[in-house]
Amino acid sequence: MDNSLAIHPDQYAGSGGTGGHWTDIGEVRTYRREGRIIRLSCAGGEVAIRFYTEKIARVVMNPAGEPELGWNPHVLVLEPEDVQIKAAESEHEIELATGGLTVRIRKSPLRISFYDAEGREFAADGERGMGSGPRGEVACIRRTGDSDRFYGFGEKAGFLNKRGEKLTMWNTDVYAPHNPETDPLYVSIPFYLTVRDDGRASGLFFFNTFRTTFDLRGGTEHSFLAEGGQLDYFVFAGPTPKDVIAQYSSLTGRAPLPPRWALGYHQSRYSYETEAEVRELVATFKEKGIPLDVVYLDIHYMDGYRVFTFDKGRFPNPRKLIEDLRAEGIRVVPIVDPGVKADPAYRVFSEGVRHGRFCRYLDGQLFYGQVWPERSAFPDFTDASVREWWGDLHSFYTELGIEGVWNDMNEPSVFNESKTMDLDVVHQNDGRPATHRELHNVYGSLMSGATYEGLKRLLGGKRPFVLTRSAYAGIQRHAAVWTGDNRSFWEHLELCVPMCLNLGLSGVPLCGADVGGFAHDSNGELLARWTQLGALMPYFRNHSELKSIRQEPWSFGAGTEEIVRRYVKLRYRWLPYLYGLFEEASRTGLPIMRPLLLEYPDDHHALAVNDQFLLGTDVLVAPVVRPGQTKRMVYLPAGAWVDYWTDERLEGGRHVIVDAPLDKLPLFVREGAIVPLASERMSTETEAEELALHLYPSTAGLPSEYALYEDDGRTFSYAEGGVYEERIRATPSSPNRLDVDIRVVRDGYVPGWQRRTLVIHRAPAGLQVFLNGSELTLESRTGGTATYRL
Ligand code: GLC
């Protein structure tokens, strides 16, 4: 624990930052074009500029030599396009324009500013611009506009807008409570969006894997700094927040469709320690009628914490267990940490040592660190042959019927003072050796990438699922991210909303927090509220710590159990809508769970909302995040909204106070929306019998549209046309007539529903509904809700 020594004046000396012996990039001495790359030789270093698209530019400054643009530790996936650049040089300036983005370079000293397609400046160097420090630091100082708000930055505690904060990227295992100031955490995504008052947005990705710091505290300037390497950044011209995310995710990749089972309800505990305990757990879910897709095996399943083993006493027959659970529609996901126990009699270790798979110092000595299995070696995932070896080791699991793996401790976490691997370990890095100091932040991502690719090779066409704690930019291509060791605090319930929203803005759609809280002790009310929220977050897992009170759905009595059951079931009902959003994310990079600012960037009230979110464009979730609260204020953006529970219509563009008794999650559907909901089921393994299209007709007579997407949810056949898609359009032709058109546009997959209905909310009495021209007969009517068979 820190005491006041932490703020002793001496602690501030040499604490980094951009002070000290700073070398400004200085004046431009020569300027030349080499194909598509613009090179500037400056007093304080060399600079290269390259356009990747008309709206994405890369700036690289190397204080010590020619900028290197080729190195890529599996982060970038975009090849530069052949962009036409109009270049103009005058005495004081160089201008590079693509039509979508203009880069203006002042020559003496070099200062860069960026303009959008309409000629508006959206980002610019400050009084000081790029430069380098005495210990190899590189930094860039930029102007901060009066109304600039900063979002993204991956996994960070605190509220959505990071203006006023100083944030560090250095993947760290933080068991201590995640306070608003607790930084860094497990994930480094050095990307941010700037959103201005008028809703215009731009973005920046600082492509540097060293420890980096973003200082957003100043009123007029902000900066980003890395402890080493090049100053290498990408600029995204926007101009909307959605454009920026599309641009960033085109650069670092998009998430493939997860297997549908990864979107069901997951139950975890550190640990379900024996086969009998797992069987009892699953039986209880069944007996209590609570749907379940996955049970996690935490570290106790292993033989002395050796990865790729089972403890024979605790789990005498894992194959049978996995098979039996599978027959109930439930999958098992085991934890796999990077630390490999240093035990010469253990095959993974001895083979790894023999073939040079582990991290070493320059002199060839292995690096050992203490983790759960005590003295352990760590695979060097920066090398292709190690990634392949590691991936192949997963046949141990896949042969038992396992299709998903949970990567933990992959910062990597080590039980020592620095909390991680020694910084002077030299990684092989695919033939470009580099220290751990440089590659620390990508270690976890490379491990999860190796795991995903290995599982993909082994699963014969099935989609793998990988969950990771540590990550770098681009992780979305391989794994889901959960926010690590939170606690059963109401504050942490509140915190996980902006945290996951910023993760989503940073390209990671499949993310979530431990529902109920990991450390500390949960309670019925907290679990009820957290499950309500988790049910509509992208990733939904209840997980808790060894010594904490149990927090399975039934742990706090019948009242809580009933609420938890109701919301786990709600999750399964909402899967078609959620799955559609995952499909969209796989194409566009847009998050599932969206801050209001993404859809309403020029609405000042929307920009300030931290405790509500949108699912896609049409659904608004306003969780209760305080104990004892039975009402809450909700901000409804412009338009009209319908209360999901009561069908009450509420005019938007204002704050409302809504009732939220303990069994109610405030939930609203945008008027005019179509939301596909499925009938209940006990796991995603069984098909939903019914699919209902819920229509909330526009009272302004506007048509409603929705593209319904389905595929098998298990394989990659969607990439080869195994897709069902229909376009639905419902037009209120007159107050009493609704014309619905359903057109199948892709039929490479046949959905398993046996029954389809159209459910019209707030339907006027006497409404006539026509489907592709023929009148439908009313099947049933409850209050204002009319149901038709399709
Ligand atoms: C770490 C993980 C946690 C896990 C525990 C034991 O603390 O964050 O989720 O349960 O290790 O493996």
Q: How far is the CA of 488 from the centre of ligand 1 (A)?
A: 15
Nearest CA to ligand 1 atom 10: 270
Q: Which two tokens stand for residue 652?
A: 């938007």
The mean per-residue pLDDT over the stretch 718-727 comes to 98
Q: Give the residue carrying structure tokens 């002395």.
A: 304
pLDDT at 595: 98
State the pTM of this model: 0.97
Q: Please give the Cα distance from 436 to 287 (Å, whole number).
A: 50
298 CB within 6 A, ligand 1: yes
Give residue 20's pLDDT band: very low, low, confident or very high (50, 70, 90): low
Residues annotated catalytic, as ranges: 408, 411, 485
Q: What are the C-alpha distances in Å from 206 to residues 60, 76, 250, 472?
A: 10, 12, 15, 12
Atom index in ligand 1 nearest the CA of residue 545 equals: 10
469 CB within 6 A, ligand 1: yes
The mean per-residue pLDDT over the stretch 379-384 comes to 98
Q: How far is the CA of 337 from the centre of ligand 1 (A)?
A: 10
Give the burial string for 214-251 (b: 16+ CB within 10 Å, else e).
bbbeeeebbbbbbbbbbbbbbbbbbbbbbbbbbbbbbb
693 CB within 6 A, ligand 1: no
The mean per-residue pLDDT over the stretch 146-159 comes to 97
Q: Please give the Cα distance from 688 to 679 (Å, whole number).
A: 6
pLDDT score of 438 more than 60: yes
Q: pLDDT tens digits, residue range 751-787?
A: 999 999 999 999 999 999 999 999 999 999 999 999 9
Domains of the chain: 4-252 (2.60.40.1760), 261-588 (3.20.20.80), 593-669 (2.60.40.1180), 689-789 (2.60.40.1180)
pLDDT score of 645 more than 50: yes
For residue 109, cis peptide bond before it (omega within 30 degrees of 0): yes
Q: Which two tokens stand for residue 666?
A: 């405030």
Give residue 9's pLDDT band: very low, low, confident or very high (50, 70, 90): low
* 490 residue type, one letter: W
270 CB within 6 A, ligand 1: yes
pLDDT at 271: 97
Handedness of CA 309, 312, 315, 318 (dihedral sign): positive
C-beta contacts of 359-363 below 8 A and 24+ residues apart:
359/421, 359/425, 359/427, 359/436, 360/425, 360/426, 361/422, 361/424, 361/425, 361/426, 362/424, 362/426
Q: How far is the CA of 620 from the centre of ligand 1 (A)?
A: 32
pLDDT score of 414 more than 80: yes
The mean per-residue pLDDT over the stretch 93-107 comes to 98
Nearest CA to ligand 1 atom 3: 485
pLDDT at 8: 64
Q: How far is the CA of 285 from the centre of ligand 1 (A)?
A: 23
337 CB within 6 A, ligand 1: no
pLDDT at 21: 84
pLDDT score of 646 more than 70: yes
The mean per-residue pLDDT over the stretch 448-463 comes to 98
Q: How far is the CA of 301 from the centre of ligand 1 (A)?
A: 13
The mean per-residue pLDDT over the stretch 489-501 comes to 98
The mean per-residue pLDDT over the stretch 394-419 comes to 98
pLDDT at 14: 40
pLDDT score of 2 more than 90: no
Q: Pick from 619, 751, 747, 617: which is nearest to 678 by CA? A: 751
Q: How far is the CA of 485 from the centre of ligand 1 (A)?
A: 7
513 CB within 6 A, ligand 1: no
Q: Please give the Cα distance from 687 to 359 (Å, whole number).
A: 46
Please list, in sequence order, all residues whose beta carbon lies within 8 angstroms of the beta carbon of residue 186, skipping any fewer than 6 positions away: 155, 171, 172, 173, 174, 411, 444, 469, 470, 471, 483, 484
pLDDT at 6: 67
Nearest CA to ligand 1 atom 5: 270
Q: How far is the CA of 408 from the centre of ligand 1 (A)?
A: 7
pLDDT score of 4 more than 80: no
Q: pLDDT tens digits, residue range 601-626?
A: 999 999 989 999 999 999 999 999 99
Atom index in ligand 1 nearest the CA of residue 335 equals: 12
Q: Which two tokens stand for residue 336?
A: 């796999």
pLDDT score of 354 more than 50: yes
Give residue 1's pLDDT band: very low, low, confident or very high (50, 70, 90): very low
pLDDT at 5: 66
206 CB within 6 A, ligand 1: no
Best residue for ligand 1 mutational test, from 171, 174, 335, 371 (most atoms within 8 Å of Cβ): 335
First to last CA, the chain: 63
- Report the chain's mean pLDDT, rounded to a whole number: 96
The mean per-residue pLDDT over the stretch 511-534 comes to 98
Nearest CA to ligand 1 atom 7: 485
pLDDT score of 83 more than 70: yes
Best residue for ligand 1 mutational test, from 174, 187, 270 (most atoms within 8 Å of Cβ): 270
The mean per-residue pLDDT over the stretch 137-143 comes to 97
pLDDT score of 449 more than 70: yes
